[in-house]
Amino acid sequence: MTDLLCISDLTAIEPPQENDTDMMFKVEAFEPPERCPECGFDKLNKHSSRKQLIMDLPIRLKRVGLQLNRRRYKCRECGSTFWERLISVDEKRSMTKRLLKSIQEQSMSKTFVEVEESVGVDEKTVRNVFKDYMALKEREYQFETPKWLGIDEIHIIRTPRLVLTNIERRIIYEIMPNRNKETVIQRLSEISDRTYIE
């Protein structure tokens, strides 16, 4: 059962329930936490638990949900309580980090609805994952002005967008939401040290 999932810190506790399109695994943390995150003490009591649905990568083209029995612990020393932490889970999106990465990649070339259908995460979530990802990319790539600036367009979700590239370094310098003339002019005029561009 665990081999089918191959997640480092989660383990399936019984065989999955499945139909033609979906699989559901009941899972738990592989190991209890070792120490209290507040004081570092290593004697912890189980406090409570709750069921949480985490989506994961499809298996054999079936959408995969993990029904996680998530435990809360109480420190015997300082009395603080905390939910167990899982390195494989993206808490913001209630999905595994590997699914998040897959959605980021797929949303560059497919429509949000197509991604929604293949992974079983609703379209709004796919859209938000994509937005976060683009914001991250923009922050990453806002650095030096290129010596050789490439001006091109890229089609993301069937929308043509302006893409500025650093040709010398072969990296993206900027992606804009569209490629209207005003957008192009405005973005180029924002480059303060544009005399550097050859």
**Site residues, Zn ion (CB under 5 A):** 36, 38-39, 41, 75, 77-78
**Residue 86 CB, nearest distance to Zn ion (Å)?**
20
Amino acid letter, residue 69 = N
**Residue 47 CB, nearest distance to Zn ion (Å)?**
12
The Cα–Cα gap between 96 and 27 comes to 13
The two structure tokens encoding residue 178: 């569209």
**Residue 33 CB, nearest distance to Zn ion (Å)?**
11
Cα Dmax for the chain:
66
**Residue 74 CB, nearest distance to Zn ion (Å)?**
9
**By C-beta, is 39 or 167 nearer to Zn ion?**
39
Taking a C-beta distance cutoff of 8 angstroms, is the pair 18, 24 a contact? yes
Q: Alpha-carbon torsion 109, 6, 133, 150, what sign?
A: negative
CA distances from 5 to 51, 99, 102, 117, 122 (A): 19, 12, 16, 20, 22
CA distances from 48 to 51, 77, 96 (A): 11, 18, 23
**Residue 83 CB, nearest distance to Zn ion (Å)?**
14
**By C-beta, is 38 or 138 nearer to Zn ion?**
38
For residue 105, list its beta bridge partners.
none
**By C-beta, is 54 or 75 nearer to Zn ion?**
75
Chain centre to alpha carbon of residue 130: 9
**By C-beta, is 78 or 185 nearer to Zn ion?**
78
**By C-beta, is 39 or 171 nearer to Zn ion?**
39
**Residue 35 CB, nearest distance to Zn ion (Å)?**
8
The Cα–Cα gap between 152 and 161 comes to 8
**By C-beta, is 63 or 71 nearer to Zn ion?**
71
In angstroms, the first-to-last Cα distance of the chain is 59
